[in-house]
């Protein structure tokens, strides 16, 4: 993974960093496999099922989830934090995909997906809060299927 990051930082575009074994059809095949997973993740998010949502992340102590200025390390920690954010399933937040996700394949078996979510939630004072979230995730093909090994989420606007 470090090798493609170095090439990407050097100014090469993500598409240009695809290995010789990662032609456009390989990216399209990966996209066709990952899109339904994103849809399932969104369904789990909208019923506030933390376990089902986090099942798409690598069950790995090295999993890294960055949100704003905080790094959450490890699958167990990500699951616990998701439970807190969704108040053990009692939140009313609703997520909607804003636009189409962007897919890049820097090398075979690794796909970077960037997308935006709009969220609406009720506040304690009876008002609602709307936010747009920007999310980038690195998906890795593993024996159990595609899993997120790194994700970054931040507020993109209101």
Q: What pLDDT digit, counting tens, does each position of 61-73 carry?
A: 999 999 999 999 9
- Residue 5 pLDDT greater than 70, yes or no: no
DSSP track, 43-104: HHHHTT-HHHHHTTB---TT-EEEETTEEEESHHHHHHHHHHHTGGGT---EEEEEEEEEEE
Q: How far apart are CA 27 and CA 144, in angstroms?
A: 19
Q: How far apart are CA 65 and CA 72, in angstroms?
A: 5
- Residue 82 pLDDT greater than 80, yes or no: yes
Residue ranges of domains in the chain, CATH in brackets = 18-157 (3.10.450.50)
Share of the chain above pLDDT 90, in %: 80
pLDDT band at 12 (very low <50, low <70, confident <90, very high): very low
Task: Give residue 58's pLDDT.
Answer: 99
Indicate the pTM of the whole model.
0.83
Summarised one tens digit per residue, pLDDT across range 87-129 is 999 999 999 999 999 999 999 999 999 999 999 999 989 899 9
């Amino acid at each position: 993974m470090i090798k493609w990051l170095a090439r990407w930082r050097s100014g090469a575009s993500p598409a240009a960093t695809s290995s010789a074994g990662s032609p456009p059809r390989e990216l399209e095949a990966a996209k066709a496999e990952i899109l339904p997973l994103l849809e399932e993740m969104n369904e789990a998010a909208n019923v506030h099922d933390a376990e089902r949502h986090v099942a798409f992340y690598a069950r790995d102590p090295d999993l890294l989830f960055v949100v704003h200025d905080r790094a959450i390390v490890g699958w167990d920690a990500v699951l616990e934090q998701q439970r807190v954010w969704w108040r053990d399933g009692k939140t009313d937040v609703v997520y909607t995909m804003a636009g189409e996700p962007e897919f890049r394949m820097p090398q075979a078996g690794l796909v970077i997906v960037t997308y935006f979510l709009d969220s609406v939630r009720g506040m304690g004072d009876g008002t609602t809060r709307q936010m747009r979230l920007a999310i980038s995730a690195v998906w890795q093909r593993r024996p159990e299927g595609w899993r997120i090994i790194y994700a970054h989420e931040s507020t993109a606007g209101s």
